[in-house]
Structure 1
Amino acid sequence: MDDSHQPDDEITWSSLSRWEKFLTVFGMTGLVLGIITAVLAALLLGLLAVAAVSLHLVEADGIGTLFWGVALLLPCSALAAVFTYPLLFGIRLTSFASRTKEATEAALSVATTFLAVLFTEYFTPGLRVQHPWLPALLGALLFALVNLVVREMGNRTSKGARGRLSRSRF
């Protein structure tokens, strides 16, 4: 591997042509819009899953209500975080064991999601929920399950990469 990297070899924004700048901005805009679309699609899928399971508890005026729910979920999550993040920072400053801190942080994450779904149910126009805590609990548990699956997949990927690296050295 060549470690003779010279500072003159670096590409700067000012050294790019107009066409290269346009392509860079176009590509980054597409990447950001793709990520936003994927996040919104995942939120809508989660909202549809909770609404489908809680079919008799949730009444909506139409499909537009679901899109309102997705649009309001992020601001409601920020509102819920206002209540739970001071507790999270307090837990991080304590001298508890790391395992206790991790379990408490996970519980606070579920509580934040629970509050966010409750706020979303309350603020979404055209949405009527008979027992709002049941769909909120279902949404929080679904969110926790997705987090566990993603973490497990990440652990398997990193273990597989480490295993391939250790085998290739021999």
Structure 2
Amino acid sequence: MTVLGLGILAVLVLVVLAGVLVVAFLSSNLIEADSAGSLVWAVVLCLPCGLLAGVFAVPVRLAVRLTAVSDKIKCGAGTAMSATTTFLGALLVETFTPGLHVEHPWLPALLTTLLVAFANLVIRHMESRKSQRSSDV
């Protein structure tokens, strides 16, 4: 079980590192890192900054869930809050990472939010195709 847990953790760290590297590459004219260690720090800070952003978003998310009239509004508000939380988490990572200098921090944060939303759409599409195949059999 320990090996399985460490394997899953390693895969998650590699996915987050790949995401950080993609954002750093696509925003190379806006992001300046002192060393490769700065990008490792950015990966390490993703979880605490994401949790901190989530703490700020929880009251708003709960208020929307309690006051929303229809399920469609709840779903749309949940998606918007998820994107807002990702954006805020990316801004916090850019701000607190030592050795990372970002000229316009909102642009890489927006790129991160769009990449996460795109990844979620791809995962949802693959899951629906998998469930469709299993229902056809």
Letter in 2 for 1:97: S
What does residue 109 of structure 2 align with?
136
TM-score (norm 2): 0.97
Counterparts of 1:1-170 in structure 2, within 5 Å, are 28-164=1-137
Letter in 1 for 2:66: L
Q: Which runs of 4+ in 1 moved over 2 A?
A: none
Q: Which moved more, 1:88-97 or 1:121-130?
A: 88-97
Q: Residue 51 of structure 1: SS of its match in structure 2?
A: helix
Query: Once the two structures are superposed, what CA deviation does each residue of 1:14-72 show, in whole Å capped at 9, x if it has no partner?
Result: xxxxxxxxxxxxxx001100110111101000111100000100000111111100000
Alignment gaps of 5+ in structure 1: 1-27, 165-170
Letter in 1 for 2:113: A
> Rg bigger for which structure?
1
Q: Of the two structures, which has the highest relative contact order with CA contacts closer than 8 Å and spacing of 6 or more?
A: 2
Question: Aligned-pair distance for 1:73?
Answer: 0.5
Letter in 1 for 2:57: T
Q: What is the number of residues matched between the two proteins?
A: 137
